[in-house]
Amino acid sequence: KKYVYAFAEGNKELKDLLGGKGANLAEMTNLGLPVPPGFTITTEACTTYLNTGSTPEGLDEEVATHLAALEKARGKKLGDPDDPLLVSVRSGAKFSMPGMMETVLNVGLNDQSVEGLARQADNDRFAWDSYRRLIQMFGKTVQNIEGEAFEEALEEIKRAKDTHNDLDLDADDLRQLVDVYKGIVREHTGADFPQDPREQLTAAINAVFDSWNSDRAVLYRRQERIPADLGTAVNVVAMVFGNMGMDSGTGVAFTRDPGTGEQGVYGDYLQNAQGEDVVAGIRNTVPLQDLEKLDKTSYDRLMEIMATLEGHYRDLCDIEFTIEAGQLWMLQTRVGKRTAAAAFRIASQLVDEGVIDLDEAVQRVTGEQLVHLMFPQFDTSAKVHQLGRGISASPGAAVGKAVFDSYTAVKWSRSGEKVILVRRETNPDDLNGMIAAQGILTSRGGKTSHAAVVARGMGKTCVCGVEELQVNTKRRFLTAPDGTEVHEGDVISIDGSTGRVYLGEVPVVDSPVVEYFEGQVDVSTAKDDLVSAVHRIMTHADSARRMGVRANADTAEDAERARRFGAEGIGLCRTEHMFLGERRQHVERLILAEDDEQRDQALEALLPLQRWDFLQLLTAMDGLPTTIRLLDPPLHEFLPDITELSVRVALAESRGEKNENDLRLMQAVHRLHEQNPMLGLRGVRLGLVVPGLFNLQTRSIAEAAAQLVKLGKDPRPEIMIPLVGSVQELEIIRGETEQVLKEVAEETGCDLPIMIGTMIELPRAALTADQIAEAAQFFSFGTNDLTQTTWGFSRDDVEAAFFSTYLEVGIFGVSPFETIDEDGVGELVRIGTEKGRATRPDLKVGVCGEHGGDPDSVHFFNKVGLDYVSCSPFRVPVARLEAARATV
């Protein structure tokens, strides 16, 4: 097995094996760009090392061979006392994990070779500066010495010279610093700084391997959902020196503005510096444009290279470079990170420039980015006081008074206050407070912490893990690093999209993208190029996708909004709200009815009310399919609360009164009480047990439709029976439903074809879908219930209780209620679809759980061949985009 690749042997497709950095260094090398020679040790070597505790057999020899080639290329030997070759040892995983892992520069220097380096370069200062950097980085990374020990020593020596500028330190100072550093190493390790260059190299390589499992790397991976078993590659690169003098330096650059996408010169440059200096803020950097004045040749060459990279990667690239005595070297490139807005703008600009086509533009943006753009945003032009920054756990912009416990959150919000719940971390006891709050802020925990998981489940804004904030819940205040204190009742603003926390009320502006979807922006004259970019990409997405996108909407108002957002129908109209409010009294009468007559009276009272609802809804959805689900929840949800009722009865009793109706209601509530309502009398079971209930709904729908047809409209209702587990259930209900439809057709003279289908939300339904399809004209997977019934999870109970633990220990990487569990629940979807279509090849199959608006799930549904997804109106654009991304 081959564990080491020279740069010339790799390419950018080999990220799994060579890591992102290594793969791109190889790519640049093969493009003929000036990359210092080097080689990459594969991620496989790393995983073997981490799993077995020792490096794989043959690795040492391979490294030796490649090192020899490197020495030959540079005409120097590693650590040669007279003219040393120095190398950097750099981590580089498949996914970039900024600042998470380690790099050691100037490996190969020791007490002798530092003198050789000084003589060769004729520059003592440079040599000793390099040596002190090696000891500092090696001490910290390889020998696990607190970085502060070195930093303090450096500060000390600057203080002695009365300067803040490291350039004021001369060769003698640095030589002295090296002595101090060596003392620190001796003190911490009990041994001298290793002088053998080869020993330095091996130790540095192993330290980079080990850094894969450092605490912060582990934490970061969990938050970013990067698999823990990928390992990191190690890049060994011949050093080039930006610290040789003022004609040297180091810099970073972007090929376009990562904020707006505009092409141009963006970056920072620092003269006479090495490595991270440019981003570490040790001295003021100069804007990249100024390099033109400092070193025109290198500047022109850099511009040329940036154009080459853009042309080659066909996207925004970010770059690290170093100039050694007027000679430009490329040290890193990758397709650069960008904001959500920039992603849309850049994709559209690249189309304008003829670099990519629209199909590719659709791939260059994500539904997740679109979600971010759709939330209301803080007005960034406002003057703000930032208190800190944490992890963006659940998007949105929330403003409210800080409260430090759930009880206060609930109490204050009841009295009409907007509150932000601030905790160190949350636990299930905080649930009520989280529900009451506008947003949640914690100082501990990452994207899988309790606060994050629950907030996302509720669609509530959440910033978590703002470690720089000291939260004192006992004394009800928090302290920011700048000393600002926020006490209970002080207003704060939290941005769940960026993780930023502000003091006071930051003004919130509507998202221009939502205004566009709402039809409030005329695209042809839109000033905001973001809106034009979104319009262009969404228009293409709609023409490219195979799956349809519908919305879950219960009212005409929601339906209209869903249409504006691009829904091509309603995939789920819940009808429970049609039994609430003033209509409860009729439902109560229905439940309490003692004979057919009483029952029919109650049903008759409900009929015109529901017909009116459906008239509204079908008018809003004129010309588009509208799937209406018959009543699903358990009946007792429509009865009064047992405690309230008991109090009422007791009060009446104490007055010596007796309310017959209340007493009968009490009995009914007790009779209908269920231990597990989720698995109780609901869905199709109601239709079978409560005579006339489903027929009432069917009749309302059919009469409303007939009325609209007479008005020249085009209503397209579809009737959906929930919670079916066996074809027999469906057959009975279908028979009755068809009977009612026939009656209405005869009465109205309007024979509208209305499809009758079912939800698949029980494992048994999926497994017997071939039978069920005999009686169903369409399927809609109710993946929320299907997830509950497949896992045996009661969503209302499990999310707050233990999901964060499950996520932390890795039982799943993401909540199965957020993203479809492909292996289990998804498998049932696949089986159900296949079996259903085996019986009825033209069976229409959709999904109407919340998963219909989740990017990963949408890709899965596309793969298993569903006809459409249905999701909340707000998610419709996300589903449109992701359905296209799954196709092109």
Selected range binding ligand ADP among 109-117, 134-142, 167-175, 238-246, rule: CB under 6 A: 238-246
Which residue lies nearer to ligand ADP by CB, 86 or 399?
86
Helix boundaries (H) for 593-726: 596-620, 642-654, 660-672, 684-689, 693-710
Rounded Cα distance, 607 and 751, in Å = 20
**Residue 255 DSSP code:** E
Which residue lies nearer to ligand ADP by CB, 276 or 515?
276
Selected range binding ligand ADP among 128-136, 237-245, 355-363, 567-575, rule: CB under 6 A: 237-245
HEC letters along 786-829:
HHHHHHCCCHHHHHHHHHHHHHHCCCCCCCCCCCCCHHHHHHHH
The least distance separating ligand ADP from the CB of residue 479, rounded to whole angstroms, comes to: 31
The least distance separating ligand ADP from the CB of residue 78, rounded to whole angstroms, comes to: 13
Give, as ranges, the residues between 556 and 585 that touch ligand ADP (CB under 6 A).
Answer: none
Q: How many CA atoms lie within 13 A of 286 on its CB side?
A: 14
105 binds ligand ADP (CB under 6 A): yes
782 binds, among ligand ADP, Mg ion, none (CB under 5 to 8 A by kind): Mg ion
Q: How far is CA 762 from CA 116, 518, 682, 882, in A?
A: 76, 36, 13, 27
Selected range binding ligand ADP among 236-244, 368-376, 406-414, 551-559, rule: CB under 6 A: 236-244
785 binds Mg ion (CB under 5 A): yes
From the list 43, 110, 136, 332, which residue makes contact with ligand ADP (rule: CB under 6 A)? Answer: 332
Selected range binding ligand ADP among 173-181, 215-223, 234-242, 425-433, rule: CB under 6 A: 234-242
232 binds, among Mg ion, ligand ADP, none (CB under 5 to 8 A by kind): none
60 binds, among Mg ion, ligand ADP, none (CB under 5 to 8 A by kind): none
Which residue lies nearer to ligand ADP by CB, 200 or 332?
332
Task: Find the radius of gyration of the CA atoms of the chain.
Answer: 33
Rounded Cα distance, 747 and 527, in Å = 55
Selected range binding ligand ADP among 128-136, 233-241, 545-553, 568-576, rule: CB under 6 A: 233-241
Give the pair of three-digit tokens for residue 97.
């994990």
Give, as ranges, the residues between 71 and 90 that touch ligand ADP (CB under 6 A).
Answer: 88, 90
Cβ neighbours for 309, distance < 8 A, ≥ 6 positions apart: 28, 33, 255, 317, 319, 333
Which residue lies nearer to ligand ADP by CB, 36 or 249?
36
From the list 136, 332, 448, 627, which residue makes contact with Mg ion (rule: CB under 5 A)? Answer: 332
Taking residue 147's Cβ as centre, other Cβ atoms within 10 Å add up to 12
785 binds, among Mg ion, ligand ADP, none (CB under 5 to 8 A by kind): Mg ion
867: Cα separation from own chain's centroid: 26
Which residue lies nearer to ligand ADP by CB, 126 or 517?
126
The least distance separating ligand ADP from the CB of residue 786, rounded to whole angstroms, comes to: 43
Which residue lies nearer to Mg ion by CB, 255 or 332?
332
The least distance separating Mg ion from the CB of residue 571, rounded to whole angstroms, comes to: 13
36 binds, among ligand ADP, Mg ion, none (CB under 5 to 8 A by kind): ligand ADP
782 binds Mg ion (CB under 5 A): yes
Contact between 697 and 632 under an 8 Å Cβ cutoff? The reply is no
Contact between 468 and 448 under an 8 Å Cβ cutoff? The reply is no
Contact between 56 and 87 under an 8 Å Cβ cutoff? The reply is no
Give the pair of three-digit tokens for residue 366.
């994500």
From the list 79, 261, 275, 687, which residue makes contact with ligand ADP (rule: CB under 6 A)? Answer: 275
Give, as ranges, the residues between 210 and 229 that touch Mg ion (CB under 5 A).
Answer: none
* Owner of token pair 């219930």: 785
Which residue lies nearer to ligand ADP by CB, 97 or 371?
97
From the list 24, 29, 48, 103, which residue makes contact with ligand ADP (rule: CB under 6 A)? Answer: 103
Which residue lies nearer to ligand ADP by CB, 45 or 455?
45
Rounded Cα distance, 39 and 863, in Å = 39
Rounded Cα distance, 613 and 704, in Å = 9
* Owner of token pair 């009815």: 593
Residue 866, amino acid = L
The least distance separating ligand ADP from the CB of residue 240, rounded to whole angstroms, comes to: 5
Which residue lies nearer to Mg ion by CB, 77 or 338?
338
Q: How far is CA 361 from CA 349, 517, 524, 659, 681, in A?
A: 9, 19, 20, 68, 49
**625-629/385-389 β-pairing:** unpaired
Cβ neighbours for 829, distance < 8 A, ≥ 6 positions apart: 760, 766, 781, 783, 786, 820, 847, 860, 861, 864, 866
Catalytic residue (choose from 46, 66, 317, 450): 450
User: 637, exposed or middle or buried, with CB in 10 Å at 0-12, 13-18, 19+?
Assistant: middle
761 binds Mg ion (CB under 5 A): yes
Selected range binding Mg ion among 590-598, 730-738, 754-762, 872-880, rule: CB under 5 A: 754-762
Q: How many CA atoms lie within 13 A of 743 on its CB side?
A: 13
Contact between 880 and 358 under an 8 Å Cβ cutoff? The reply is no
> Can you tell me whether residue 841 is helix, strand or coil?
coil
Q: How far apart are the first and last CA of the chain?
A: 36
The least distance separating ligand ADP from the CB of residue 239, rounded to whole angstroms, comes to: 4
Rounded Cα distance, 105 and 141, in Å = 11
Selected range binding Mg ion among 170-178, 476-484, 606-614, 781-789, rule: CB under 5 A: 781-789
Residue 450 among the catalytic residues: yes
Residues in binding contact with Mg ion, number by CB under 5 A: 4
Nearest to 569 by CA among 631, 516, 622: 622
The least distance separating ligand ADP from the CB of residue 102, rounded to whole angstroms, comes to: 8
276 binds ligand ADP (CB under 6 A): yes
Nearest to 36 by CA among 105, 95, 100: 105
Residue 673 among the catalytic residues: no
Contact between 886 and 868 under an 8 Å Cβ cutoff? The reply is no
Nearest to 680 by CA among 723, 731, 638, 639: 723
Which residue lies nearer to ligand ADP by CB, 248 or 493?
248
Q: How many CA atoms lie within 13 A of 506 on its CB side?
A: 24
The least distance separating ligand ADP from the CB of residue 322, rounded to whole angstroms, comes to: 5
275 binds, among Mg ion, ligand ADP, none (CB under 5 to 8 A by kind): ligand ADP
Cβ neighbours for 372, distance < 8 A, ≥ 6 positions apart: 340, 395, 497
Catalytic residue (choose from 317, 573, 848, 871): 848
Which residue lies nearer to ligand ADP by CB, 88 or 461?
88
The least distance separating ligand ADP from the CB of residue 180, rounded to whole angstroms, comes to: 23
276 binds, among Mg ion, ligand ADP, none (CB under 5 to 8 A by kind): ligand ADP
331 binds ligand ADP (CB under 6 A): yes
Give the pair of three-digit tokens for residue 587.
């439902």
* Owner of token pair 């659940």: 394
Which residue lies nearer to Mg ion by CB, 613 or 785?
785
Which residue lies nearer to Mg ion by CB, 687 or 782?
782
Residues in binding contact with ligand ADP, number by CB under 6 A: 16
The least distance separating ligand ADP from the CB of residue 523, rounded to whole angstroms, comes to: 40
Selected range binding Mg ion among 131-139, 274-282, 330-338, 859-867, rule: CB under 5 A: 330-338
90 binds, among ligand ADP, Mg ion, none (CB under 5 to 8 A by kind): ligand ADP
From the list 230, 240, 541, 800, which residue makes contact with ligand ADP (rule: CB under 6 A)? Answer: 240
User: 16, exposed or middle or buried, with CB in 10 Å at 0-12, 13-18, 19+?
Assistant: middle
Binding residues (CB under 6 A) for ligand ADP: these are: 36, 88, 90, 99, 103, 105, 237-240, 275-276, 320, 322, 331-332
Residues annotated as part of the active site: 450, 848
User: Where along the sequence are the contacts to Mg ion (CB under 5 A)?
Assistant: 332, 761, 782, 785
